[in-house]
């Protein structure tokens, strides 16, 4: 299913929408809108994964935070899970340089790399892809999801992906850097192509979990990588 390509001339560079804001500098609004997304990852994805049968609680995890931007979200996850190895990746070198300077010396379990999403050469238990897919061309998005599913995520791992919710009245609205915004059903369809099970959630613009209504601003999917199952026919 194709995306809407509402800004086809935009570049494919992807990074966090918060630029160069450290944890200490974040305003209450920044904290609510930005950190609530990473609190969601911590509580609904990482913590539940650690309680699962495939992953005992004391098992060290590897978490990749794609399009980490200034590195604040990666640092938040490193602070919440000190036994985990958190790797923030981004194409933007100034962002990565800022992240290293701001956080690498404070959290020994976080590292930052300048890296293209399609060139990742490591594996992970948890892969975060927050507000990233809308910055990719449709074919690049599909290639990235296939790589995450086939090569990056370990068996039993989780992908958490979020994307702005495109509403019918916004079909001609262009957001900076967004070239592939999706409707809710398109988002469900795309993730379902690569993962056998996905849970879907919605957030409003303040970072609160809400029902999937016109008030929802952000769509979030938690995708599960399970071993292949056998289907028996009568």
Q: Where are the domains of the chain?
A: 28-224
Candidates 190, 215, 191; CA nearest to 203 is: 215
pLDDT at 212 (0 to 100): 74
User: Residue 16 has which token pair?
Assistant: 């966090």
- Phi–psi pair at 224, nearest 5 degrees: -110, 130
Greatest mean pLDDT among 44-48, 62-66, 167-171, 230-234: 62-66
Mean pLDDT across the stretch 45-73? Answer: 81
When the pLDDT of each residue in the chain is averaged and rounded to a whole number, the result is 81
- Judge: domain 28-224, CATH 3.40.50.150: yes
Read off the pLDDT of each residue in 93-110 and give the average, rounded to a whole number: 93
What is the structure's pLDDT at 176? 66
* pLDDT (average), residues 87-95: 93
Label residue 27 exposed, middle or buried (CB < 10 Å: 0-12, 13-18, 19+): exposed
Give the list of residues 6+ apart from residue 201 with CB closer than 8 angstroms, or none. Answer: 40, 44, 209, 219, 220, 221, 222
Token pair 């935070």: residue = 65
Looking at residues 66-84, what average pLDDT do you find?
Answer: 92
Tell me the pLDDT band of 35, cut-offs 50, 70 and 90: confident
Q: Provide the angle, in degrees to the nearest 10, between the axes of the packed helices 138-147 and 184-192.
A: 40
């Amino acid at each position: 299913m194709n995306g809407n390509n509402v800004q086809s001339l935009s570049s494919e560079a992807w990074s966090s929408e918060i630029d160069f804001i450290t944890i200490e500098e974040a305003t209450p609004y920044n904290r609510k809108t930005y950190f609530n997304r990473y609190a969601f990852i911590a509580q609904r994805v990482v913590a539940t994964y650690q309680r699962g049968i495939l992953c005992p609680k004391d098992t060290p995890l590897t978490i990749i935070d794609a399009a980490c931007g200034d590195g604040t979200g990666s640092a938040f996850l490193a602070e919440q899970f000190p036994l985990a190895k958190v790797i923030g990746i981004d194409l933007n070198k100034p962002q990565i340089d800022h992240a290293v300077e701001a956080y690498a010396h404070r959290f020994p379990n976080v590292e930052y790399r300048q890296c293209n999403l399609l060139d990742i050469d490591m594996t992970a238990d948890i892969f975060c892809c927050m507000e990233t897919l809308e910055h990719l061309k449709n074919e690049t998005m599909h290639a990235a999801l296939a790589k995450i599913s086939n090569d990056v995520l370990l068996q039993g791992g989780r992908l958490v992906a979020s994307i702005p919710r495109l509403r019918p009245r916004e079909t001609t609205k262009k957001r900076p850097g967004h070239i592939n915004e999706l409707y809710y059903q398109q988002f469900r369809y795309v993730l379902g192509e690569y993962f056998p099970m996905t849970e879907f959630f919605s957030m409003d613009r303040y970072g609160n979990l809400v029902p999937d209504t016109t008030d929802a601003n952000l769509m979030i999917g938690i995708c599960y990588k399970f071993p292949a199952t056998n289907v028996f026919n009568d």
